[in-house]
Structure 1
Amino acid sequence: MSSFSSNAILAKARSMYSHRLTEQNYEELLKRRSINDLVAYLKSETAYSDILSDIKEINIHRGQLENLLNKEIFLRLNRLMRYASKKELEFYRLGVTELEIQLILTKARLIVSDYYTGYEIEVPDYLNKYASFDLYGLLAVNDYDSLLVLLRGTKYYDAFLKYKPDDDKPLDSNLLELELKHIYYKEYVDTVNKLFKGKNVKIY
């Protein structure tokens, strides 16, 4: 990475870090007893105020809030990606993988659970152009077999095939989520080991 690129990313990251949620913020969030109260606090007391500015607390549900918070995470990531060299973009794209996993896991749960009836995922326009597969294809998926067809050829396919539900074995979404996290963390470690050497390597 060039000196200019490195300094620009460092300055931007420090600015973002200064607006992170603090321990006090988390303590206050734990006191909120509804999504409405939680959104009101995030809008008035945190750096999420801009992304939530057009939202009416009384109308928002959990899925909408998660989508907006994910969008804010991606927008922050995208600000860093603007300054990254071509080589370093591989590291920042790990954030895209994390958001992909959230979307396809949510879709799988929608397919198999009556609890989610009437609620559909929202595919973010900002994310699709960076994704490893056609995220809009998720909107046309109505059953698990169709989901497998969409994911064929991706790094997620084997995990979803492994936990495919049938009449005698319902989907264990918790184990599937764990498997997807293993995929993410393996990619994370492999990417860090590939891009960074010596004292620059520190994996949490």
Structure 2
Amino acid sequence: MNHQANAVLAKVRGMYGRMLTPAQYEELLRKQSLPEISAYLREKTSYAKALAGVQDSAVHRGLLEDLLERDQFHQYERVLHYIDPQEGVWRIVTLNLEVELLLSCLRGIISGRQQESLLADLPTALQPWVRFKMVDLVGVQSVEQLAQVLEHTPYGPALRELLERYPPLPDRQVRYTSIEMGLRARYYTTLLEWAAQSTRGQAASQLRELIGMRAELLNLTALWRVKTYFPDQKAGWVDQLLPFRCKLTLREWQAMVKAPDRAALEALVRRSWYGRRLPVEAGEPIEVLAGRLRCQVCRRWMRFATDPQVVYTAYMMLRTMETEDIVRIIEGVRYRMPPDRIEKLLVKTKG
């Protein structure tokens, strides 16, 4: 292993070591207000840079959640000196940024919101690695105009294809969900292609597991919600799921899709690869179950993987899940939920 790879491994594992500990989770659960959470994160955790300059007394939920989500860019910037950001899955952060920017632009088109807000507070250092000019999204007022702006970028053909498959409704409303899933499918396909191009053997297999499991669990989460809230819904929505499987066989997945209700789905999940590795409790939120399963795999590769791209990908996924945990705590405090109830909704990325 070369010196650069060793440097990346040491850097990323050091960043992982500064993630929230079980004791810090307990401290956060004891906070009773948003200013208390903000102050603790800034003063006592590795989120200090993301929250630098925040006035705790004036912070509001939307701002705090937005700053926490942007923390991933700070994590990305910390490894830029050690990597070639034009190669491999190092671009997982900027690829996600591209998709989220396009989806935000689409939501703005639907709602009539001004697109200038898209660019607010974006890390300008990342523009060289975003494959379209972010400023070009400002002023876009229709999905056709967005397709023109992206025409000579990797997203141009993809968006044109999606618009042909899912044309606007008679009232010119965008079929947002269909286009969203199409863009997210491209996100995972691109990540898997980059992984295949830049790694071999065991490292390639580990990346396929990390990326593929994330996509498959998104599908399982969507299926879980349908069986919970819309058990009588026709199966046409299945076509909008991501076209990926990782741990489930085709037969298992087809049986889950055909399950008549959530109880039947839970029974099938218990017998699957996922259920054999983590108990599936009746009524447990699927997001928590999925997160804990992913944490198991991510922590394993954080510890045992020797390829820096694998360790980096596992870390970025864990960091994202940790941020989602903090957002759940914020939401719990907002709605005055008792700490023990909030805790049941947390993944707790370091166990």
TM over 0.5: yes
Letter in 2 for 1:81: L
Q: 1:118 to 1:151 in 2, by over 3 A?
A: closer
Whole-Å separation in 2 of the counterparts to 1:24 and 1:103: 35
Deviations 1:91-117 (A, max 9, x none): 212321111111121121012115x56
Q: How does 1:32-111 map to 2 (within 5 A)?
A: 39-57=38-56, 58-60=58-60, 62=62, 64-65=63-64, 67-85=66-84, 89-111=87-109
Q: Quick check: which one's helix share is greater?
A: 2
Match for residue 120 of structure 1? Answer: 117
Q: 1:145 to 1:78 in 2, by over 3 A?
A: same
What displacement does 1:85 show?
4.8
Letter in 1 for 2:14: S
Deviations 1:48-73 (A, max 9, x none): 122212122424452x4455334431
Q: Which runs of 5+ in 1 are unaligned?
A: none
Asked if the contact 1:70–1:99 (Cα under 8 Å) also holds between the matched residues in 2, the reply is no
Q: 1:108 to 1:4 in 2, by over 3 A?
A: same
- Alignment size in residue pairs: 200
Asked if the contact 1:165–1:171 (Cα under 8 Å) also holds between the matched residues in 2, the reply is yes
Q: 1:10 to 1:149 in 2, by over 3 A?
A: same
Length-normalised TM-score, structure 1? 0.78
What displacement does 1:23 show?
6.0
Higher relative contact order (CA 8 A, sep 6+): 2
Q: 1:91 to 1:45 in 2, by over 3 A?
A: same
| 1:20 alignment partner, SS class | coil
Asked if the contact 1:20–1:47 (Cα under 8 Å) also holds between the matched residues in 2, the reply is yes
Whole-Å separation in 2 of the counterparts to 1:175 and 1:34: 38
Match for residue 148 of structure 1? Answer: 147
Asked if the contact 1:43–1:52 (Cα under 8 Å) also holds between the matched residues in 2, the reply is yes
Deviations 1:105-154 (A, max 9, x none): 1121012115x569822243122121101111112323333222111133
Asked if the contact 1:91–1:192 (Cα under 8 Å) also holds between the matched residues in 2, the reply is yes
| 1:82 alignment partner, SS class | helix
Match for residue 182 of structure 1? Answer: 185
What displacement does 1:173 show?
2.8
Q: 1:137 to 1:38 in 2, by over 3 A?
A: farther
Length-normalised TM-score, structure 2? 0.49
| 2:154 alignment partner, SS class | coil
Whole-Å separation in 1 of the counterparts to 2:115 and 2:35: 20
Whole-Å separation in 1 of the counterparts to 2:32 and 2:115: 24
Percentage of identical aligned residues: 28
